[in-house]
């Protein structure tokens, strides 16, 4: 049985990790959830750790955790969706197809699941998708090294490889903001919102770019 202080520490770690996840700071969130899992290997903590690994491109590690959770609690959409993504990024095509197929059966109204199922079956489009995600990771690394222009080139290539990806478009806009090219930033943020209309962060970015343009 865990002590009061252990329970409190687990809650604090989980809260800290979730805040970092919300900000998209997966590098910092990862060690936080590692500590949380060591103290409490609950499904929630393990999933959050796997989510960080997926975002950081550690697909094989994430897959091991997600496979285990999926066996214990099959049919959970969030777990199954993240697992399907790890299979897709590792080019385990048939396994990704099976998982996306399962998701469409669980939630037949989801257009997103149908789209990903079609993607995983399309030999050309799935390769483009994986390539664009790898370019996105390289761009993130370049940004961390403060190589903004290199990151921008990689992201534009990613957008050309697999268009209509809100995340890529939003990242391009963010770099233009760093470069103080607010008109291009606004353009790409607006484009990103077309493909993810409920994304609050993109909406905030559009407002920020608009304010800069008006100054």
Q: What is the pLDDT of residues 1-37, one digit of tens each?
A: 777 888 899 899 999 999 998 887 888 999 999 999 9
For 175, the token pair is 């770099």
Each residue of 198-211: pLDDT tens digit?
999 999 999 999 99
Each residue of 59-111: pLDDT tens digit?
999 999 999 999 999 889 999 999 999 999 999 999 999 999 999 999 999 99
For 20, the token pair is 């970092």
Alpha-carbon torsion, ordered 30, 32, 38, 40, to 10 deg: -110
Q: What is the mean pLDDT of the chain?
A: 93
Q: Are 188 and 176 in contact (CB under 8 A)?
A: yes
58: how many CB neighbours lie within 10 A of its CB?
A: 15
Q: pTM of this prediction?
A: 0.85
pLDDT of res. 36: 92
Closest to 82 in 3D by CA, of 72, 67, 94? 67
């Amino acid at each position: 049985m865990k002590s009061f202080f252990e329970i409190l520490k687990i809650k604090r770690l989980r809260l800290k990790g979730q805040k970092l996840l919300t900000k998209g700071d997966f590098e910092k969130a990862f060690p936080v959830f590692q500590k949380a899992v060591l103290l409490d290997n609950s499904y929630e903590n393990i999933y959050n750790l796997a989510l960080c690994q997926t975002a950081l491109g550690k697909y094989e590690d994430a897959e091991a955790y997600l496979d285990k959770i999926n066996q214990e609690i099959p049919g959970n959409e969030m777990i199954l969706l993240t697992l399907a993504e790890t299979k897709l990024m590792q080019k385990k095509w048939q396994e990704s197809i099976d998982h996306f197929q399962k998701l469409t059966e669980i939630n037949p109204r989801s257009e997103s699941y149908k789209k990903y199922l079609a993607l995983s079956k399309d030999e050309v489009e799935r390769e483009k998708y994986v390539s664009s995600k790898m370019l996105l990771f390289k761009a993130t690394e370049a940004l961390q090294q403060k190589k903004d222009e290199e990151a921008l080139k990689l992201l534009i290539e990613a957008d050309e490889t697999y268009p209509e990806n809100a995340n890529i478009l939003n990242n391009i806009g963010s770099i233009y903001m760093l470069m103080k090219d607010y008109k291009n930033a606004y353009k790409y943020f607006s484009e990103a919102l077309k493909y993810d209309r409920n994304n609050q962060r993109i909406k905030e970015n559009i407002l920020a770019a608009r304010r800069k343009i008006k100054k």
